[in-house]
């Protein structure tokens, strides 16, 4: 029988994979995909909990998270275009103009 | 319960066996004289101009930005459509406000020329 | 949502609708005069928040309309109006699109006022995201400037990770308590039984996210890069409003925390002490004014954290007073940088300021006054603010933190005096920078009088803060 704990553990694992990806990857678009992974693991938690607690609030939060994730992705893509136009790259190793 | 699916299993088995049989039979019975053109992925059409693993034009990204926003709009419309009858006018007006906000953004985008390809 | 609720949320609706209108009209009639229109809209929102009595105390179980929330609507609207006025000339020189800039600032103010009014974790999340998203764009607003784009992307990656942590933290708190509404969420955490560790883990994740957003050490590494890369007026609003709004929302959050605070105490202590120390040591060798202000803001966030940790109405009052004094001094400092900036570059290296005190005496002395107030020199407001926080720490039984705070304040004199020495005591070989204009002088004079008057006569503001604290 699959209980709410299984969902929580699964989403914790996905969240950790996302965090790990953000920390280790170099390509800004891949970093964005990892951030989406983190946010979607949160959505999984909310839906599982909403069912477990018999409470619709969790599902409402999922919609807000989705909206925020979409807005962030849109702004992120636009910023990457701006960065690419100036520097011909979206590699995080090229984030090097601003330093100590 | 599960035995209801037995015909489907039989169908899957027959389909699989037929596909395997055709591949093996054509290899055994048919003539086999390969040359360069026959081995190419496509026998007709134009020769390749460049590798497909190239960078895309930045215009595709602008389309992607637009798409993301209106893609999520549809995700919001689904639950509303499910309970449309129960919500009545209240729901319709609320959704109208939500769509109006998005349309304002769309009009802005149109006016600024983000939808033009050139 | 009923009509009464909409009416109670009027200031925020004015801001959001005003921003949309300016954006749309600006698409047909582009002009930089829209920035002045934005000032009017912000002032109008401030007026409606200050004068109107809301019909309901809480809107949709998300946002409070109490006097605490309305006070912050007024404060952020005023700060937004001031930074819009400051940006007028800047936008003209750098050829920024006026209506878009104005609309984004108004959206940011709207988000900040929503965040300070949040009474639910959903409201908190939405308010926070509303203005962070705007700042991602504003930081990279100068499109030809590759440093701006880099700063924007850095802030975006950091901010998006923080959003992930915040959402996951909220989900764990929801797991333990089954509610997003603030008092219930914490009450549920108290009696959660087996789920209680999950709730505490959720709090830890939320603290990480908050640490990112207000740049507490050890989550402060993005701060100097973003400050340096962003346009000066945007940095001014980022440093004051966005951090201030998060703290304004944390005060009621921590007041509702109850006995749970004992579990978080050590973490908060560590965050405050680390911010004070790391910010101080990193600020010492800086030779760039924006980066120095970034690290010094980490120190200021450490002071605010002390106020949060001590708790109780007196400490919270000291925190809010500190927040306001910090906001005016910081906004004025970035205002001076804005008014100095020319087409090609913003002066920010200390070398650019050499001997400037004789070329531009008024603005240089104003910059010096802001830095002295941030350092906490007596007649200016910064002194009373620091004094209040340290006194609260001593009274609340945190002598260790009080000692660290005093040491940090003493050391801060070095890095605040360094640019002043450069301004007034070095050989004059500075190039002439841009002449100021009327709007800029008006804003700077207003901030200066706030710094001075509140320092000499803080009683009215303190009384007001006592009245609005929940």
Of B61, B62, B72, the CB nearest to A66: B72
Longest Cα separation, chain B: 72
CA distance C225 to C230: 9
Per the prediction, chain B carries an average pLDDT of 84
| Structural domain of B17 | 2-112
Average of per-residue pLDDT across C128-139: 94
Report the pLDDT value the prediction gives residue A75, as an integer from 0 to 100. Answer: 92
In a domain, B72, yes or no: yes
Shortest distance, CA C146 to any CA of chain A (angstroms): 6
Nearest-angstrom CA–CA distance, C363 and A82: 34
In the predicted structure, residue C230 carries a pLDDT above the cut 70 = yes
C425, pLDDT greater than 50? yes
Do B108 and C28 count as a contact with CB atoms less than 8 A apart? no
Spatial separation of the C-alpha atoms in residues C179 and A49, rounded to whole Å: 11
pLDDT of C402 strictly over 90: yes
* C24 contacts chain B (CB < 8 A): yes
* Predicted ipTM of the assembly: 0.95
Mark out chain B residues that contact chain C at CB-CB < 8 A. 94, 101, 104, 107-108, 111-112
- CA proximity to C11, closest of C90, C56, C70, C57: C70
Shortest distance between the Cα of C230 and any Cα of chain A, in A, equals 11
> How long a stretch of residues is chain C?
470
pLDDT digits (tens, 9 = 90+) for C345-376: 788 888 888 888 888 888 999 999 999 999 98
What residues of chain B have any CB closer than 8 angstroms to a CB in chain A?
58, 61-62, 64-65, 68-69, 71-72, 75-76, 79
Predicted confidence (pLDDT) at residue B47 exceeds the cutoff of 80: no
Residue B54: give its domain's CATH number.
1.20.58.1610
> Is B108 within 8 Å of C24 when comparing Cβ atoms?
yes
Neighbours of chain C (3+ CB pairs under 8 A): A, B
Per-residue pLDDT for C217 more than 80?
yes
Per-residue pLDDT, A100 = 45
What pLDDT sits at residue B43?
61
Domains of chain A (ranges; CATH) run 4-89 (1.10.287.3510)
Least confident of A71-75, C107-111, C257-261: C257-261
**Structure-block tokens of residue C362:** 């008024």
pLDDT tens digits for range B93-110: 989 999 998 899 889 988
pLDDT band at C210 (very low <50, low <70, confident <90, very high): very high
Q: What is the mean pLDDT of chain C?
A: 89
Residue C232 structure tokens: 């000066």
Task: Report if residue B117 sits inside a domain.
Answer: no
What pLDDT does residue C430 have? Answer: 56
SS (H, E, C) chain C: CCHHHHHHCHHHHHHHHHHHHHHHHHHHCCCCCHHHHHHHHHHHHHHHHHHCCCCCCEECCCEECCHHHHHHHHHHHHHHHHHHHHHHHHHHHCCCCHHHHHHHHHHHHHHHHHHHCECEHHHHHHHHHHHHHHHHHHHCCCCCCHHHHHHHHHHHHHHHHHHHHHHHHHHHHHHHHCCCEHHHHHHHHHCCHHHHHHHHHHHHHHHHHHHHHHCCCCCCCHHHHHHHHCCHHHHHHHHHHHHHHHHHHHHHHHHCCHHHHHHHHHHHHHHHHHHHHHHHHHHCCCCEHHHHHHHHHHHHHHHHHHHHHHCHHHHHHHHHHHHHHHHHHHHHHHHHHHHHCCCCCCCCEHHHHCCHHHHCHHHHHHHHHHHHHHHCCCCCHHHHHHHHHHHHHHHCCCHHHHHHHHHHHHHHHHHHHHHHHHHHHCCCCCCCCCCCCHHHHHHHHHHHHHHHHHHHCCHHHHHHHHHHCC
**Neighbour-count burial of C82, counting CB atoms closer than 10 A to its CB (0-12 exposed, 13-18 middle, 19+ buried):** buried
| Residues on chain A touching C163 (C-beta within 8 angstroms) | 39, 68, 72
The two three-digit tokens of residue A15, written as one number: 């969240």
Residue C77 has pLDDT above 90, yes or no: yes
CB contact residues (below 8 A), chain C span 111-170, against chain A: 122, 125-126, 129, 133, 136-137, 140, 143-147, 149-154, 156-157, 160-161, 163-164, 167-168, 170
Q: What is the mean pLDDT of residues C171-183?
A: 87
Which range is least confidently modeled, B69-78, C16-25, C271-280, C323-332?
B69-78
Whether B16 maps to a domain, the answer reads yes
Is there a domain that residue B83 lies in? yes
Q: Which of A2-16, B60-74, C239-253, C379-393 has the lowest mean pLDDT?
A: B60-74
**B94-111 per-residue burial string, b: 16 or more CB within 10 A, e: under 16:** ebeeeeeeeeebbebbee
User: Domain for residue B94, yes or no?
Assistant: yes
Q: Say whether residue C29 is in contact with chain B using an 8 A CB cutoff.
A: no
**How far is residue A39's CA from residue A36's CA, in Å, rounded to a whole number?**
5
Q: Which residues of C touch A79 (CB under 8 A)?
A: 136-137, 140, 149, 152-153, 156
CA distance C470 to C468: 6
| A82 contact residues in C (CB cutoff 8 A) | 140, 143, 149, 152
C27/B104 Cβ within 8 A? no
How many domains does chain B divide into?
1
**Per-residue pLDDT, C431:** 67
Nearest-angstrom CA–CA distance, C282 and C223? 12
Tell me what pLDDT residue B52 has: 67
What is d(CA C213, CA C31) in angstroms, rounded to the nearest whole number?
33
B32: in domain: yes
In this model, does residue C85 exceed pLDDT 90? yes
Residues of chain B neighbouring C28 (CB-CB closer than 8 A): 111
| B interface test, pick of C16, C24, C30 with most B CB neighbours within 10 Å | C24
- Rounded to the nearest 10 degrees, the angle between the axes of helix C67-93 and helix C243-255 is 170
Q: What is the rounded distance in angstroms from the CA atom of residue C118 to the CA atom of residue C249? A: 7
User: Does the bond joining C218 to the residue before it have cis omega, within 30 degrees of 0?
Assistant: yes
In this predicted structure, what is the pLDDT of residue C42? 93
Q: Is residue C1 pLDDT above 80, yes or no?
A: no
Quote the pTM value. 0.89
**Predicted pLDDT at C412:** 92
């Amino acid at each position: 029988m699959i209980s709410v704990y299984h969902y929580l553990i699964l989403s914790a694992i996905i969240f950790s994979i996302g965090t790990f990806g953000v920390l280790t990857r170099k390509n800004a678009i891949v970093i964005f995909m990892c951030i989406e992974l983190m946010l979607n693991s949160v959505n999984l938690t909310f839906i599982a909990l909403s069912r477990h607690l018999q409470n619709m609030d969790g599902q409402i939060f999922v919609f807000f998270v989705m909206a925020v994730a979409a807005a962030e992705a849109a702004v992120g893509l636009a910023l990457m275009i701006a960065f690419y136009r100036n520097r011909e790259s979206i590699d995080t190793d090229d984030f090097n103009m601003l330093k100590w | 319960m599960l035995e209801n699916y037995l015909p489907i299993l039989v169908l899957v088995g027959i389909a699989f066996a037929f596909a395997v049989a055709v591949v093996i039979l054509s290899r055994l019975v048919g003539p086999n004289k390969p040359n360069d053109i026959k081995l190419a992925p496509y026998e007709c059409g134009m020769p390749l101009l460049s590798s497909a693993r190239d960078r895309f034009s930045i215009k595709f990204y602008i389309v992607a930005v637009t798409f993301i926003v209106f893609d999520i709009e549809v995700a919001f419309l689904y639950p509303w459509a499910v309970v449309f009858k129960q919500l009545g006018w209240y729901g319709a007006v609320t959704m109208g406000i939500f769509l109006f906000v998005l349309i304002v953004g769309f009009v802005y985008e149109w006016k600024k020329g983000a939808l033009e390809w050139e | 949502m009923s009509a009464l609720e909409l009416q109670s949320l009027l200031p925020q609706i004015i801001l959001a609708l005003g921003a949309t209108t300016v954006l749309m009209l600006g698409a047909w009639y582009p002009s930089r005069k829209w920035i002045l229109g934005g000032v009017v809209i912000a002032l109008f929102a401030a007026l409606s928040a200050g004068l109107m009595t809301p019909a309901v105390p809480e809107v949709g179980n998300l946002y409070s309309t109490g006097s605490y929330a309305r006070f912050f609507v007024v404060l952020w609207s005023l700060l937004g109006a001031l930074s819009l006025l400051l940006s007028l000339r800047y936008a003209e020189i750098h050829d920024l699109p006026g209506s878009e800039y104005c609309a984004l600032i108004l959206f940011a103010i709207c988000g900040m006022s929503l965040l300070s009014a949040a009474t639910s974790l959903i409201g908190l999340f939405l308010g926070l995201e509303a203005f962070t998203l705007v700042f991602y764009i504003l930081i990279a607003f100068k499109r030809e400037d590759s440093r701006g784009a880099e700063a924007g992307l850095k802030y975006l990656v950091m901010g998006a990770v923080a959003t992930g942590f915040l959402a996951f933290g909220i989900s764990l708190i929801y797991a333990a308590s089954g509610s997003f509404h603030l008092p219930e969420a914490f009450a549920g955490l108290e009696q959660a039984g087996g789920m209680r560790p999950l709730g505490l883990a959720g709090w830890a994740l939320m603290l990480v996210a908050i640490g990112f957003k207000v740049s507490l050490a050890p989550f402060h590494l993005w701060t100097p890069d973003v400050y340096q890369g962003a346009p000066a007026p945007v940095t001014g609003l980022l440093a004051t409003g966005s951090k201030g709004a998060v703290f304004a929302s944390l005060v009621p959050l921590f007041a509702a925390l109850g006995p749970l605070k004992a579990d978080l105490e050590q973490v908060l202590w560590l965050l405050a002490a680390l911010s004070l120390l790391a910010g101080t040591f990193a600020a010492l060798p800086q030779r760039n004014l924006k980066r120095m202000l970034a690290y010094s803001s980490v120190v200021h966030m450490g002071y605010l954290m002390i106020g949060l940790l001590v708790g109780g109405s007196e400490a919270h009052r000291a925190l809010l007073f500190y927040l306001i004094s910090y906001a005016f001094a910081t906004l004025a400092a970035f205002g001076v940088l804005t008014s100095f900036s020319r087409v090609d570059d913003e002066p920010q290296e200390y070398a650019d300021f050499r001997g400037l005190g004789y070329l531009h005496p008024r603005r240089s002395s104003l910059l010096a006054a802001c830095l002295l107030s941030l350092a906490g020199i007596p007649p200016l407001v910064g002194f009373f603010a620091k004094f209040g926080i340290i006194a609260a720490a001593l009274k609340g039984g945190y002598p260790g933190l009080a000692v660290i705070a005093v040491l940090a304040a003493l050391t801060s004199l070095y890095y605040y005096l360094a640019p002043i020495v450069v301004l007034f005591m070095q050989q004059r070989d500075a190039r002439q920078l841009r002449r100021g204009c009327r709007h800029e002088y008006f804003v700077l004079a207003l901030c200066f009088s706030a710094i001075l008057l509140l320092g000499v006569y803080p009683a009215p503001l303190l009384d007001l803060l006592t009245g609005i604290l929940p």
